[in-house]
Structure 1
Amino acid sequence: MVYPDGVRADGLPRVLSDPARLAALAASGQIGSVPERVFDDLARLAASVTGCAIAAITFVGESHTYWKSVPHLPYGGFEQWQNAVGDSFCYFPVGTNGPFVVEDAANDPRTAGHPAIGPWGVGAWAGCPIQSPEGYPIGSMCVIDAAPRAWKAEDLDILALLTRAVSNEVNNRVSLETTRTALKVAEDALAQSAELARSLQDSLLPPILRPVPGADSAARYLPASGEVSVVGDFYDLFQARGPWWTAVLGDVCGKGTEAAKVTALARYTLRADAGEHLSPAVVLGRLNSAMRAQRAPRFLTAVQATFRTTDAGVTGRLCLAGHPPALLRRADGRVQQVGTSGTLLGVFDDVDLTDVRFRLAPGDLLLLYTDGACEARPDPAGSPPHNPIFDEAALARALTDSHGLDAAATINHIAAVLADHHDGFASDDTALLAIRAR
């Protein structure tokens, strides 16, 4: 018998030891697998259409042949459901990676004297290779006649067709398992990415606001619905110098790593400069210069308030840089806007920024927010689809309805109103920060 890849020292085909073939066999998951009806049905059909008493489906390893379907024999367990690779004809189609047909096994020079003839009662034998998706022969499907016979062409065609059906069944399972594995890997990677995004987002927001003497404060970040990603909404509250405190809230354009870089630059620049300059306009102007010098890949809008507490409440100055105006809720529930519109940051070398003074009497509250709170859109797939955008007027009404509440309760009330409006589908991220004079 001549094999394309030659023979091993034991006279068997060298391809039996081919690492790539063995890897394909292992990937099939069929080594040591138990009989299954789908394979038994195909084997019985092969025996029926060819008029043979025996049909078998086996998978051929380097040293052993593993039986998958031998319908005329009862399953005897893994140890009994195999034989040494040289003790059956099953390696022949694997060695040639093509059909192997014997009409008189005892007298054919290729098989005469083979140890399988007696135990298996082989008079005539025909088999085809089971192939992996890459075309490696990993097993065989065969039929055995007890007496020599001349095989009909149509019998061999049907055997080849049924063998292809076996190959397809095995390969479909491999493809399904590969898809499942890839999906699991992707899900794990997505979960890890989401966790990293949450961690990075959390690192850009203060976990706890420092308490301001004479005032209570609260902040909250409300992520958009859908994929978890790092976004540019941020807030901060810190002691700037002496009795002066700074509250800042910003919105960087875009999401992801580039937005995170700008957010980090903004937070640390503002903290560094707020202690030197009590004018929010000056501090935001210096942030603009830093962004231009660093060639920041994103622009941002921001609102900054620098204030101190007194016996009469809170007094300070506030500046808007392309940001929505702050809202001031009086103790009686009246709401008014605070701030003069200014230039967004990171685009122009020269920016127009203006400080506006404000005062909070006891019970008054100042709300800073990003545009997710005044441009909230309902879920487009929800009902009714014509719900209006939750705009600045709606935000002001929600703030009015919360009068009498402290900073934390006010933030929670607005978050609940937003959630009710968009029915759990947040179209944009939202940051909220409130300061209330006690």
Structure 2
Amino acid sequence: MTVNATSAGELPQAVFDPARLAAVADSGLLDTGPEGTFDDIARLALAVTGARMAFFTVADGWRSVWKSAVGVDPAAERGNDIRDSPCHLLIGTGKELIAPDARTDPRVRDLPAVDVLGIGAWAGYPVISPGGHVLGGLCVIDEDARPFTPQQSEALRILARSVSSEIALRQALREAQAAGSASAALARTLQDSLLPPCLPQAPGLDVAATHLPADATGAIGAEVVGDFYDLFETRGRKWSAVMGDVCGKGLDAVKVATLARYTIRAAANQHENPATVLHRLHDDLVDQHVSERFLTAAVAVFEPGLEGITGLYASAGHPPALIRRVDGTVEELNATGILLSPDIPAARDDFADTAFRLCPGDALLLYSDGITEARDQHRGPLFGADRLARALAATHGADATETLDRLWEAASAHSGGHSVDDTAMMVLRVLPT
């Protein structure tokens, strides 16, 4: 590729920041070949935007290297001089850059890459190291000028964060292996990567979620499990709540759970029906085949309103959600759907949407099966779905956080503090009028 005559001194100073360059070196991504994980994310970026090319780029002080390049001739040189690529602009600002018409946008129009790659429209999002430094970017390119919708932009933002999370997981694992142990601290880091750091506050809702290890003391072992949950705003005024559980433990469970989280987020910004979102996730599990492990998942897509929320619920082999009405009665919110596995064929009609409505004071409980499978060390009866429903009814009038605390107390009392599996729970409670 032609080298821009612009002097290196005009590049953003952040490009040459020693701490950033050290972070790039520590990532272990430079001078390595393409990898399926990053290619899968790039393909997903093309799927959600309809763009022609997608790249994950890592940049040091003088070159911009394509760690992933989808839609490009495989024989092409995988990278260019950093002065030729828009990547240095992401490093300089630490922010996304969207150029609907790259040929007229003063920020990018003079870069050689615009002509060499035939860039009509460009959207790039920074990829961040665990220490907060910009390593490079995830970008998509179209040959014609075009806008990117807010839903497409949000999907790309999510995928760029997924790349950053993948890098952080790898780095934590390398550090633990170098220390000669897979420590409990690493397991907690991996587990936390599957969960949002905090839940957003959806309008008119009191929300809470928790992930509790099998050890009632709160300690976690060296193995990470695949329980995950999420809550996020999607298209229009709609929101999505997600609960998932990957079979087994360890890094394979992490890979599947991570794929599930970012696929669901991206698909939910494209489709309003949770059954379609789950079918899309199943297709990605088959196509990308990151592991043989299967998972169950439940997705609720809803819209807050003045008189509560209305929505659709779909399940892929997951325990049914429970609704606690304002009068204390509990209803089961079930939906048919097969579990998700790369080895099980599935069609769209294998997943079904179930409509629901929550009025002021009502609450929706999503959970993994760890709580229903809790029992004592003598292998007594399981806590079970019926006990869970009765325990939920007994929380009548409690807010979201107190509801979760009391459910866990009830399950712990039944099991004597012993649980066979980790547990994730989420409560969405409509604020009383």
TMscore range, shorter length? 0.5 to 0.7
Give the secondary-structure state (helix, strand or coil) at the position aligned to 2:270: coil
Kindly provide the amino acid, as one letter, of the partner of residue 271 in structure 1: R
Separation of aligned partners in 1, 2:315 and 2:339:
8
Please give the residue correspondences for 1:8-27 in structure 2 after superposition, counting only pairs within 5 Å: none
1:237 corresponds to which residue?
Answer: 231
SS in 2 for 1:388: coil
Aligned to 1:292: 286
2:415 corresponds to which of 414, 418, 422: 422
Aligned partner (choices 215, 221, 224) of residue 211 of structure 2: 221
* Equivalent residue, structure 1, for 2:324: 329
Q: Deviations over 1:37-75 (max 9, x none)?
A: xxxxxxxxxxxxxxxxxxxxxxxxxxxxxxxxxxxxxxx
Task: Give the structure-1-normalised TM-score.
Answer: 0.55
Give the deviation of 1:189 after TM superposition. 4.9
Matched position secondary structure for 1:372:
coil
Matching residue of 1:154: none
Corresponding residue for 1:338? 333
Which of structure 1's runs of 4+ aligned residues deviate more than 6 A? Answer: none
Tell whether 2:360 aligns with 1:367.
no
In 2, the alpha carbon distance for the partners of 1:378 and 1:228 equals 22
Contact 1:339/1:355 (CA < 8 Å) preserved in 2? no
> Corresponding residue for 1:399?
392
1:196 and 2:194 are equivalent in the alignment: no
Q: Which amino acid aligns with 2:338?
A: T
Aligned-partner Cα distance in 1 for 2:223–2:332 = 31
Q: Which residue of structure 1 lines up, in the alignment, with residue 268 of structure 2?
A: 274
Question: After superposition, what is the alpha-carbon deviation per residue over 1:143-165, rounded to whole angstroms, capped at 9, x for unaligned?
Answer: xxxxxxxxxxxxxxxxxxxxxxx
Partner of 1:379: 377
Cα contact 1:233–1:430 (8 A) shared by 2: yes
Q: In structure 1, give the amino acid aligned to 2:325.
A: R
Q: Please provide the CA RMSD for this pair.
A: 1.7
Partner SS for 1:236: strand
Preserved CA contact (<8 Å) 1:280 1:319: yes
Does residue 319 (structure 1) correspond to residue 314 (structure 2)? The answer is yes
- Residue 301 of structure 1 is matched in structure 2 by 296
Give the deviation of 1:216 after TM superposition.
1.1
The residue that corresponds to 1:211 in the other structure is 201
Contact 2:323 2:363 survives alignment (8 Å): yes
What is the letter of the counterpart of residue 332 of structure 1? Answer: D
Partner of 2:353: 355
Q: Is residue 323–residue 341 contact of structure 1 (8 Å, CA) maintained in 2?
A: no
Once the two structures are TM-superposed, the CA of residue 203 in structure 1 deviates from its matched residue by 1.1
Counterpart secondary structure, 1:399: helix
Gaps of 5+ in 2: 1-175
Distance 1:296 1:289 in 2: 12
Following TM superposition, by how much is the alpha carbon of 1:349 offset from its aligned partner in structure 2, in angstroms?
Answer: 2.4
Is 1:437 aligned with 2:427?
no
**C-alpha distance in 2 between matches for 1:339 and 1:411:** 21
Distance in 2 separating the partners of 1:366 and 1:254: 27
| Runs of 5+ consecutive residues of structure 1 not aligned to the other structure | 1-184
Q: What are the Cα deviations for residues 172-218 of structure 1, in whole angstroms up to 9, with x where unaligned? A: xxxxxxxxxxxxx99x855x521111001101111210000111111
- Summarize deviations over 1:247-303 as a string: whole Å, max 9, x none: 000000110000000000000001111011010000000000000001132110000
Displacement, 1:339?
1.9
Q: Secondary structure at the match of 2:192?
A: helix
Match of 2:309, SS state, is strand
Query: What letter corresponds to residue 348 of structure 1 in structure 2?
Result: I
Contact 1:253–1:300 (8 Å) recurs in 2: yes
The answer to whether the 8 A contact 1:363-1:436 is kept is: yes
* DSSP-derived class of the 2:200 partner: coil
- Alpha-carbon deviation of 1:354? 0.3
**1:405 alignment partner AA:** A
Counterpart Cα distance in 1 of 2:222 and 2:407:
22
| 1:373 Cα deviation after fit | 1.5
- Alignment partners' CA distance in 2, 1:328 and 1:228: 35
CA 1:395 to 1:262, structure 2 compared with 1: closer, same or farther past 3 Å? Answer: same
Q: Distance in 2 between matches of 1:407 and 1:229?
A: 29
Query: Structure 1 CA distance, aligned partners of 2:290 and 2:338?
Result: 16
Q: Secondary structure at the match of 1:343?
A: coil
For 1:290, what is the secondary structure of its paired residue?
helix
1:221 aligned counterpart, secondary structure: strand
Alpha-carbon deviations, 1:228-249, whole Å to 9, x = none? 3111100000001121000000
Offset at residue 418 of structure 1 (A): 1.5
Change in Cα spacing, 1:422 to 1:228, as seen in structure 2 (3 Å) is farther
Match for residue 248 of structure 1 among 221, 242, 252 = 242
How big is each residue's C-alpha offset from its partner over 1:77-126, in whole Å with a ceiling of 9 and x where there is no partner? xxxxxxxxxxxxxxxxxxxxxxxxxxxxxxxxxxxxxxxxxxxxxxxxxx
Larger radius of gyration: 1
Q: Distance in 2 between matches of 1:389 and 1:373?
A: 9
Aligned residues: 247
- How many Å apart are 1:227 and its aligned residue? 2.9
* Mapping of residues 4-43 of structure 1, within 5 Å: none
- Taking the aligned partners of 2:287 and 2:345, their CA distance within structure 1 comes to 9
After TM superposition, the score normalised by the length of structure 2 is 0.55
CA distance in 2, matches of 1:345, 1:206: 22
